[in-house]
Amino acid sequence: MAGQLGFPFARPPIGRASRTAGRGAAGLVPRVSPAAVRVPDPRQIEVPVAFPAGSPQIFVHEGARQALERRLQQASPCPVVLAVTDNRRQMISCSKRDGVVRARLHHMFLDAPPMVQEALAAYLVHQDRTASQLVGQYIHDSGHRIRAYRPIATKLRTKGARHDLLGLFRRVNDAYFGGTVDALITWGRKSPRRVSGARRTIKLGSYSATERLIRIHPALDRAWVPGYFVSYVIYHEMLHHVIPASQSVPRVLHPPVFQARERGFRDFDRAMAWEREHVARLLQG
């Protein structure tokens, strides 16, 4: 193997997902403004793949990095060092220095199916053409896991009167995603004062894949809304960031794998019960 190998950039699909409470059609709450603090800014940083002790099986972790490194090692006559990236364009790069193969791979490969990982090894070590096609297809199919690039125009607001979204986001990120979710988060814009009656539905959170932005409804920024519930809504939207909606028609926003992981949230039952009890109050705004 010599020089640099590269794979083309796969454009992430455009999509929105949201968590809505209450009944009736979604979307009564106006879209909130886009915004501007990156959480965390991953542009130059490699994804930290520290595996938090005691957390449930997470999307990306050090064990996965080591496992993939071993797999590459088995296919390579030289020692292999694997670094994991969150790159936008360069999904794969590989070089050989001082007899050591240094591969830099996008985190999408950490949990790739065994067949794809085999192909990846064959591609990196032997530049195998068939393997290259399989790997290319996998990158294409995993476009949603590549960080969005659309600039965010206006300001993000994470510090609420009661809840600090950034702090909650970071804790959820560390506990469930090994700190690897680089989505942005902001409080949504307050909707205009309601003239009469309660709303019929409220979008507690939403996720915009193009902006990589999670918006949390400002109605949750209240003293009587517990932190674990806000964390749950954040967690739900983070799952939209890491688990794509099905491509079938109609699109399934919460496929079984999504629901299974959602139930992995520590306070899931408690959050569901709290929502049932308080949805009317939330709807009153």
Binding site for Zn ion (CB under 5 A): 17, 19
* CB of residue 7 to Zn ion, shortest distance in Å: 30
Taking CB atoms, the residue at the shortest distance from Zn ion is 19
Nearer to Zn ion, 17 or 64 (CB): 17
* CB of residue 199 to Zn ion, shortest distance in Å: 19
Nearer to Zn ion, 19 or 163 (CB): 19
Nearer to Zn ion, 107 or 203 (CB): 203
Q: b/e map of 74-97 (b: 16 or more CB within 10 Å)? A: ebbeeebebebbbbbebbbbbeee
Distance between CA atoms of residues 234 and 69, nearest Å: 32
- Specify the 3-state DSSP secondary structure of 141: helix
215 Rama sector, left if φ>0, alpha if ψ -120 to 50, beta otherwise: beta
Nearer to Zn ion, 17 or 225 (CB): 17
* CB of residue 221 to Zn ion, shortest distance in Å: 20
Inter-residue contact 10 to 91 (CB < 8 Å): yes
Distance between CA atoms of residues 166 and 186, nearest Å: 8
Distance between CA atoms of residues 201 and 26, nearest Å: 7
Nearer to Zn ion, 123 or 258 (CB): 258
* CB of residue 255 to Zn ion, shortest distance in Å: 11
Percentages helix, strand, coil for the chain (3-state, rounded to 5) are 35, 15, 50
Q: What is the DSSP letter of 246?
A: P
Nearer to Zn ion, 106 or 241 (CB): 241
- Based on its alpha-carbon atoms, the radius of gyration of the chain, rounded to whole angstroms, reads 21
* CB of residue 17 to Zn ion, shortest distance in Å: 5
